[in-house]
């Protein structure tokens, strides 16, 4: 072979090794692109600096896709594609903007102060030194002699006030099965509730409780109407539920928004099972003899408080709006009655 032929041969072999090198770089580059498209879209802007060695590539993957703290705390069995999301409340009470309902801003108002005065003896009865757990004194029934005296309105405000306590939780039960005002007020009339449990359609009461935007307040709606609500409330099932609700959480007040005593038979059935009763009396409207009749229906229960509702401005030195509350504790003295 001549010198010229040898030189041509060498040039050919150099050319083919350059081609091989180019091919290799394209392959690496394509490989990087796959990573980018599949998992790390953040690489897209830095394509120009993509490394050619796989070690560098691995380093880049780690630095460009930092692990989130939440990813480190994934519960067992949970994958990255299924991050843990805190459960949203089932019911946003504050967003409903119900007129006259306590809010975080109204904690210093006369209205809030009146609620504090009402709740103190109730909490004392429920958790004070003299309370007996066997008497279910953490179960509170809010009732009245006749309809429309303010049971539902008072129940909600009282529940919000108790939920503001550091170490108390509250469950509101809409126990007015014939006229479920609380469920209507909170816009949960269409949700399953107490009747579903009492009819054995839902055995786990926990599945019927609605979490609210107030961290320590839950709600059990009334559920669908039922023709035999008195019988449902008088059933053994209800007695079991009372026991379960009274004993499950030692720091919880369960507040039953109930029907009026003199108009329905359900209220008397509930009163016979419950530990504490708050009787709402509409100021200047409910005749005294009806209040006395209602109290007579409750003679088997020791813990009865009176709440004088819708007091006119000036009455009991109330300064909020045109209405307010007064309260009475026990009903032995004349001053507690109208
Ligand atoms: N203290 C108050 N200040 C202003 N409005 C009030 C007060 N108490 C009750 N109300 C209003 O009076 C009306 C009747 O109140 P609510 O529905 O609470 O009565 P109720 O006793 O639950 O009635 P029912 O027997 O029909 O269930 C509602 O419009 C409510 O907003
Ligand atoms: Mg009501």
As a three-state string, the secondary structure of 223-240 is: CCCCCCHHHHHHCHHHHH
**Ligand 1 surroundings by CB, under 6 angstroms:** 100, 144, 147-153, 176, 179, 181, 260, 309-310, 323
Ligand nearest to the CA of 151: 1
pLDDT at 51 over 70: no
36: closest CA among 24, 49, 25? 49
In contact, 116 and 218? CB cutoff 8 Å: no
Judge residue 147's burial from the number of C-beta atoms within 10 Å of its C-beta, 0-12 exposed, 13-18 middle, 19 or more buried. middle
Residue 307: which H helix or E strand, with range? Answer: strand 304-309
Which backbone phi and psi does 255 adopt, to 5 degrees? -110, 120
Confidence of residue 84 (pLDDT cuts 50, 70, 90): low
SS3 199: coil
Residue 197 phi, psi dihedral angles, 5° rounding: -70, -45
* 307 strand-pairing partners: 280, 327
What is d(CA 145, CA 267) in angstroms, rounded to the nearest whole number? Answer: 10
CA of 75 to the centre of ligand 2 (A): 43
- Is residue 109 predicted with pLDDT exceeding 90? no
Which ligand is closest in space to the CA of residue 182? 2
Q: What is the mean pLDDT of the chain?
A: 75
Query: CA torsion angle for 225, 154, 213, 204 (degrees, to 10)?
Result: -40
Give residue 3's pLDDT. 54
- pLDDT beyond 80 at 86: no
DSSP category for residue 320: S
pLDDT for the residue 88: 87
Residues 6 or more apart in contact with residue 281 via CB below 8 angstroms: 144, 145, 149, 291, 306, 307, 308, 309, 338
> What pLDDT score does 115 carry?
93
- CA–CA dist 275, 133 (Å, integer): 9
Per-residue pLDDT, averaged over 86-107, amounts to 88
Cα of 148 to ligand 1 centre, how many Å? 6
Q: What is the pLDDT of residue 289?
A: 97
Higher pLDDT, 115 or 313: 115
Q: Region 92-118: what's the mean pLDDT?
A: 89
Output the CA 193–ligand 2 centroid distance in Å: 16
pLDDT score of 63 more than 60: no
* Token pair listed for 234: 């008088």
Task: Kindly report the protein residue whose alpha carbon is nearest to atom 15 of ligand 1.
Answer: 150
- Residue 139, pLDDT above cutoff 50: yes
**Residue-level pLDDT at 172:** 98
Query: Do 257 and 184 meet the contact criterion of CB atoms below 8 Å apart?
Result: no
Q: Which of 124-133, 175-184, 300-309 shows the lowest mean pLDDT across its residues? A: 124-133
Quickly state the pLDDT bin for 338 (edges 50, 70, 90). Answer: very low
> Does the pLDDT value for residue 44 go beyond 60?
no
Residue 42: the pLDDT is 27
Cβ partners under 8 Å of residue 118, min gap 6:
158, 161, 278, 305, 307, 325, 327
Ligand 2 center–CA 129 separation, angstroms: 32
For the record, the structure tokens of 146 come out as 């006749």
Alpha-carbon distance 300 to 318, whole Å?
A: 33
> Among 337, 228, 222, 233, which Cα is nearest to 279's?
337
């Amino acid at each position: 072979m001549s010198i010229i032929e040898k030189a041509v041969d060498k040039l050919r072999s150099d050319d083919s090794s350059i081609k091989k090198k180019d091919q290799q770089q394209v392959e690496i580059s394509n490989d990087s692109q796959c990573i980018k498209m599949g998992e790390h879209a953040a690489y897209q802007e830095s394509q120009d600096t993509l490394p050619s060695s796989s070690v560098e590539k691995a380093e880049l993957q780690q630095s460009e896709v930092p692990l989130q703290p939440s990813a480190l705390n994934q519960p067992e069995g949970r994958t990255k594609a299924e991050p843990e999301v805190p459960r949203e409340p089932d019911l946003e009470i504050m967003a409903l903007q119900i007129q006259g309902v306590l809010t975080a801003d109204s904690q210093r108002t006369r209205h809030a102060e009146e609620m504090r005065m009402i709740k103190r003896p109730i909490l004392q009865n429920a958790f004070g030194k003299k309370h007996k757990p066997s008497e279910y004194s953490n179960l509170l029934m809010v009732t009245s002699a006749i309809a429309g005296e303010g049971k539902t309105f008072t129940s909600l405000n009282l529940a919000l006030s108790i939920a503001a306590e550091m170490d108390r939780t509250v469950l509101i039960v809409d126990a007015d099965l014939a006229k479920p005002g609380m469920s209507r007020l909170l816009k949960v009339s269409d949700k399953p509730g107490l009747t579903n449990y009492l009819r054995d359609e839902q055995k786990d009461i926990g599945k019927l409780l609605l979490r609210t935007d107030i961290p320590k307040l839950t709600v059990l709606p009334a559920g669908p109407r039922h023709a035999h609500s008195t019988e449902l409330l008088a059933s053994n099932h209800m007695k079991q539920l009372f026991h379960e609700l009274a004993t499950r959480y030692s720091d919880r007040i369960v507040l039953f928004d109930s029907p009026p005593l003199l108009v329905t038979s359900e209220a008397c059935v509930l009163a016979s099972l419950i530990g504490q009763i708050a009787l709402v009396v509409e100021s200047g409207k409910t005749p005294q003899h009806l209040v006395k009749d209602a109290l007579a229906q409750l003679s088997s229960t020791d813990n009865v408080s009176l709440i004088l509702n819708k007091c006119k401005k000036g009455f009991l030195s109330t300064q909020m709006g045109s209405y307010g509350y007064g309260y009475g504790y026990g009903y032995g003295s004349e001053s507690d009655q109208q």
